[in-house]
Amino acid sequence: MNSFPYPSMRGRFDLRFYFVVGPDDCGNRPILDVVAKALDGGASFIQLRAKTQDVAEIVSLANDIAEEIAGHHVEDSVAFVIDDRVDAALEARAKGIKVDGVHIGQDDLDPVVARKLLGPDAIIGLSAKTVDEVREANHLPKGTIDYIGAGPLHMTATKPDSMIVDENGDITTLDASSIDEMRTMSKYPLIVGGGVKADDIPMLAKTKADGWFVVSAIAGAPDPEQATRRLVDDWTAIRGDEKPRYAERKPAATKLPAVLTIATTDSSGGAGIPADLKTMLANGVFGECVVAGITAQNTTGVQAIAAVDHDIVGAQIDSVFDDIRPTAVKIGVIVGVESVKTVAHKLRDHQATNIVVDPVMVATSGSSLAADDTIAEEISSLFPIATVITPNIPEAQVLARMPIGNQADMETAAVQLAKDYGICVLVKGGHGVKDADDVLAFPTGAVTWFEGERIANDNTHGTGCTLSSAIASYLAQGEDLEDAVRDAKAYLSGALRANLDLGKGHGPMNHAWAMH
DSSP state of 392: B
By the 10 Å C-beta count (0-12 exposed, 13-18 middle, 19+ buried), 433 is classed as exposed
Look up 465 and say whether it is catalytic: yes
Q: Are 328 and 355 in contact (CB under 8 A)?
A: yes
Of these residues, 295, 346, 465, 466, which one is catalytic? 465
Using CA atoms, how far apart are residues 347 and 345, in angstroms rounded to an integer?
A: 6
3-class DSSP state for residue 96?
coil
Q: What angle do CA 107, 108, 110 make, to 5 degrees?
A: 100
Dist. CA 2–CA 120, nearest whole Å: 7
Asked if 424 and 387 count as a contact pair (C-beta separation under 8 A), the reply is yes
Q: Of 156, 228, 327, 463, which one is the catalytic site residue?
A: 463
3-class DSSP assignment, residue 261: strand
CA atoms of 65 and 34, how far apart (whole Å): 10
| Rounded Cα distance, 161 and 353, in Å | 47
Query: Of 159, 278, 346, 428, which one is the catalytic site residue?
Result: 428
Q: Which of 37, 460, 494, 507 is catalytic?
A: 460
464 is catalytic: yes
The SS3 assignment for 70 reads helix
**Is 460 marked active-site?**
yes
CA dihedral (245, 250, 252, 254) in degrees, to 10, reads: -150
| Residue 297 to residues 84, 124, 204, 302, 330, Cα–Cα distance (Å) | 44, 40, 60, 4, 20
Residue among 331, 254, 315 at smallest CA distance from 286: 254
Query: Rounded CA gap, 179 and 200, in Å?
Result: 13
Peptide bond into 152 cis (omega under 30): yes
Is residue 462 part of the annotated active site? The answer reads: yes
Active-site choice (119, 272, 462, 507): 462
Classify residue 275 by burial, with Cβ atoms within 10 Å: 0-12, 13-18, 19+.
buried
* Degrees, nearest 5: CA angle 32-38-40: 105
What residues have CB less than 8 Å from 389, skipping those under 6 apart?
Answer: 356, 357, 358, 359, 383, 417, 421, 423, 424, 425, 426
- Which residues, listed in sequence order, are joined to residue 382 by a DSSP beta bridge? none
Q: Determine the 3-state secondary structure of 433 from DSSP.
A: coil
Burial string for 364-376 (b: 16+ CB within 10 Å, else e) reads beeeebbeeebbe
Query: Which one from 42, 270, 464, 507 is the annotated catalytic residue?
Result: 464
Instruction: Give SS3 for 220.
Output: coil
The full 3-state SS of 279-332, as one line of letters, equals HHHHCCCEEEEEECCEEEEECCEEEEEECCCHHHHHHHHHHHHCCCCCCEEEEC
Active site amino acids: 428, 460, 462-465
